[in-house]
Amino acid sequence: MKLFFQTTTALVALVLGLAGCNKGADSAVLAKVNRTTITIADFKKQVQDLDPQVQPIVSTDAKARKEYLDQIVGYEVALQEAKRLGLDKDAEYKKRVDTYREEMERKVQEAMKFELLANLVKKEVSSKIAAPTDKEVKDYYTKNITRMRTADGRKVGLEQAAPVIKERIVNERQRDAFIEYVKGLKAKATISIDEKVLASLGTDSAEPGELKKPAAAVPAKEEAKAKKDSAGK
């Protein structure tokens, strides 16, 4: 059985992670490729980045592990050759790397903001949301009875639908509470908006990369007349 793990995700993970050296129980060197070492921790990290369906195979099958390690070694040999040829000094390559780095940094920043907001919601909103009562769940079910069906059209009973209804009610309450919470923060904050700059985002004179005003729509009557005239020619 020959395994092929040459997916984009696995390749990127290998490029970024092979040179890392982790300390601890898994710091034993599994393989050496010239001056680069591959530890047990490095190998395990690459296995974790594989497709979930492939991970168990590599984890339990000795032959599969050897084949995967052989591919890791192959990638490392190729990377070392690319560096020997000076390809890592290529201007276009450096430009692409800088672009990737900026994009990854942006994604990390966005993820951090999301986690921070999630923590705020948990502390200031979720903890103060009252759990729906049985009556509220029943009333919600009755009000939306026509929607209480499975994908194939079968009716869903109250007992079966209750957990989903409870979760939906909590989510709706959390959403509304968060909106009100943010309104309160806005009321206490010092906020200024430059209406002129905001308006300029929708003009034809916007700078490249900025929002532009969409083309004016042709009135329905004029469009119909134009089509009629065109058909008669």
Chunked mean pLDDT (size 10), the chain, 233 residues: 43 40 70 93 91 89 92 94 94 95 96 94 89 92 87 86 92 93 94 91 59 46 51 49
The CA-atom distances, in angstroms, between 146 and each of 135, 152, 166, 176 are: 19, 14, 18, 25
pLDDT for 39 equals: 92
DSSP string, 137-198: HHHHHHHTGGG-B-TTS-B--HHHHHHHHHHHHHHHHHHHHHHHHHHHHHHHS-----HHHH
Torsion of CA 50, 56, 57, 62, to 10 degrees: 110
Residue at 96: amino acid letter: R
DSSP string, 7-38: -HHHHHHHHHHTT----STT-SEEEEETTEEE
Nearest to 41 by CA among 20, 15, 67: 20
Cα distance between residue 129 and residue 132, in whole Å: 9
The tokens describing 170, both together, are 């909590």
* C-alpha–C-alpha distance, residues 153 and 155, integer Å: 6
Extract the runs of DSSP E, i.e. beta strands, from the chain.
Answer: 29-33, 36-39
pLDDT for position 203: 67
